Amino acid sequence: MPDNSAIVHDAQESASAANNANGANSAHLEHPSYLRHHFNSTEQQADTSNFAMWLFLLTEVMFFGGLFTAYLIYRNWYYPAFVAGSHQLNVIWGALNTVVLIASSFTMAMGVWCAETRRRKGLVLSLTLTFILGLCFLGIKTIEYREKFEKHHVPGAHYSLQSFVDPTSDPDIFKEYHDKPLPLDMARHTEIYFSLYFAMTGMHALHMIIGIGILGFMIYRARAGAYTSGHVTFVENFGLYWHFVDIVWIYLFALLYLISRHQ
């Protein structure tokens, strides 16, 4: 494909160069093969795909925004239940996962820089580190989810109110927070907290899983020399996606783990 399209490009470009008296345009005669026909320049092409990626991210903002709004409203309605539910989360795991995800955003940013400066080995290393850190995040999340399953804090038929109607039965949590028992009707609303907890962290984890899959594909391609010959759009746009997922977690960490510790 590159050879044929180069010939077509050349023909078109000499025609347009003839129309265009401006000498600056003669540089277009030798433009890279990845420049699509409907763009004037590689800059225009890059700006266009950057704009499109941001539009996609805005739909993601609205998607997670709906979940955040639901959390905001329910937390204010069933405040004691949301505080008690939040006390079940371990701040240390949450903070560790925040650090892991921030580190993965850093390695991803370094990957974009390596692609831009045409460092193949650096790119493969950066993407691989991002891949590994992404898996670490999911591993820690699995440890947390496992505990929720063991305590029957997963919404559904086997949901248990034990920790909330009788906090002393859950000594690890009780010795840290000294929660008072909740009345049964309020205790039942902790299930809403955990529904939102699993919906929000689950959708976030799904984004991570998709991202890790794409990272695997990119590592495979980068080893063969892709992205380091000038055409970095794919790596850049994936970087935007990965950083967006990081931002969602920054807010999830604050809202789910941190803000209810003293209530």
Partner 1 sequence: MSEQTKHAEHEHHIVGPMVYVAILLALLVGTALTVWASFLELGPWNPIIALAIATAKATLVVLFFMHVKYSTKLTKLTVVAGIFTFLILVSMTLADYISRAWGSW
Please give the residue ranges that form the binding site for partner 1 (CB under 8 A).
22, 24-25, 40-41, 43-44, 46-47, 50-51, 54-55, 57-58, 61-62, 65, 68-69, 72-73, 76-77, 91, 95, 98-99, 102-103, 105-106, 108-110, 113, 116-117, 236, 239-240, 243-244, 246-247, 250-251, 253-255, 257-259, 261-262
Of 109 and 199, nearer to partner 1 (C-beta) is: 109
CA distance 131 to 69: 31
Least Å from the CB of residue 240 to partner 1: 6
Token pair of 18 as six digits: 């003839």
- What single letter denotes the amino acid at residue 250? I
Least Å from the CB of residue 34 to partner 1: 14
Q: Are 170 and 152 in contact (CB under 8 A)?
A: no
**Pick from 101, 132, 94, 118: which is nearest to 242 by CA?**
101
Q: Are 175 and 115 in contact (CB under 8 A)?
A: no
CA distance 157 to 160: 9
Least Å from the CB of residue 9 to partner 1: 18
- What single letter denotes the amino acid at residue 224? A
Of 49 and 160, nearer to partner 1 (C-beta) is: 49
Least Å from the CB of residue 109 to partner 1: 5
CA distance 90 to 102: 19
Of 51 and 158, nearer to partner 1 (C-beta) is: 51
Of 113 and 160, nearer to partner 1 (C-beta) is: 113
